[in-house]
Amino acid sequence: MRSGREAGDGGRGSENTAAAPAVRLAGVTKRYGTGGNVVTALRGVDLDIAAGELLMLVGPSGCGKTTLISVASGILDHDDGECLVFGEDIKRLGDSARTAFRGRNIGFVFQAFNLLPTLSAAENVAIPLLIAGAPWKPSVARAEAMLERVGLSERGRALPSQLSGGQQQRVAIARALINEPRLLVCDEPTSALDHESGQKVMALLREVALGPERALVIVTHDSRIFPYADRIARMDDGRIARIERPGQAPGQ
């Protein structure tokens, strides 16, 4: 159980988070470009992501999945509509408040791991702490503890190049979880992994990133991991086309 939920806890969210969804998108639109080169990536997206749930986001390439999760994690500003994360309207926050809110509440895992090749696994995991100004030694010690939770207790000193793809993704997950974010967002986290590693990473994500007050959003093309979802949102051309329970998803 996290401890920092009291009022005045430094911006983890507004007070009414208990009943609020983890993420609420209402009529969200997003356009890229200007003039004759405008691409409309989101066309009025309505989506609630509940605390405690693992939502998968699927759909053809270019339908807006990465744009949607970038808006939901405060990386990108939408044009119209409303996006609340744990009750907070991130778009309205100033730069430093936004950075602080994201650092405390949101973790992001990329398809391509994005590990720094010259740093050890533990140092990579410690990066968010170091960026926030924490001293080196305790940060790396905390990172090693997080690596233990993702099943890599012996590999803290290894360089990324000395790890398998599945292990590198575990390091990236440990890095995203080091601040215990309430929302973890993953963009195709298993697409660079073989089937078995992908299944292991999904089981791990459910175990370490979910909780009654935490939510997990995973963009994927990989129907083999659908059974790990609580709900599957299918996107098409900038909209949520439908939402399914995994048992109703095709191919299962």
The reply on whether position 189 binds ligand ADP by CB under 6 A is no
Q: Are 215 and 53 in contact (CB under 8 A)?
A: yes
In the block, residue with structure tokens 């391509």: 112
Q: Phi-psi region for residue 185, left (φ > 0), alpha (ψ -120 to 50) or beta?
A: beta
Residue from 2, 9, 26, 33 that binds ligand ADP (CB under 6 A)? Answer: 33
DSSP string, 3-59: STTSTTSSSS--GGGTTS-SEEEEEEEEEES-GGG-EEEEEEEEEEE-TT-EEEEE-
The reply on whether position 220 binds Mg ion by CB under 5 A is no
The reply on whether position 64 binds ligand ADP by CB under 6 A is yes
**Judged by CB, which is closer to ligand ADP: 121, or 218?**
218
Q: Provide the minimum distance between the beta carbon of 26 and Mg ion in the complex, in angstroms, as a whole number.
A: 22
Q: Provide the minimum distance between the beta carbon of 42 and Mg ion in the complex, in angstroms, as a whole number.
A: 13
String of contacts with Mg ion for each residue 54-83, x by CB under 5 A: -----------xx-----------------
**Judged by CB, which is closer to ligand ADP: 123, or 187?**
187
Residue from 39, 97, 112, 141 that binds ligand ADP (CB under 6 A)? Answer: 39
- Spatial distance between the Cα atoms of 50 and 106, rounded to a whole number of angstroms: 15
Q: Provide the minimum distance between the beta carbon of 70 and ligand ADP in the complex, in angstroms, as a whole number.
A: 7
Going from the C-alpha of 172 to that of each of 2, 121, 240, the distances in angstroms are: 21, 9, 28
Binding-site ranges for ligand ADP (CB under 6 A): 32-33, 39, 41, 59, 61-67
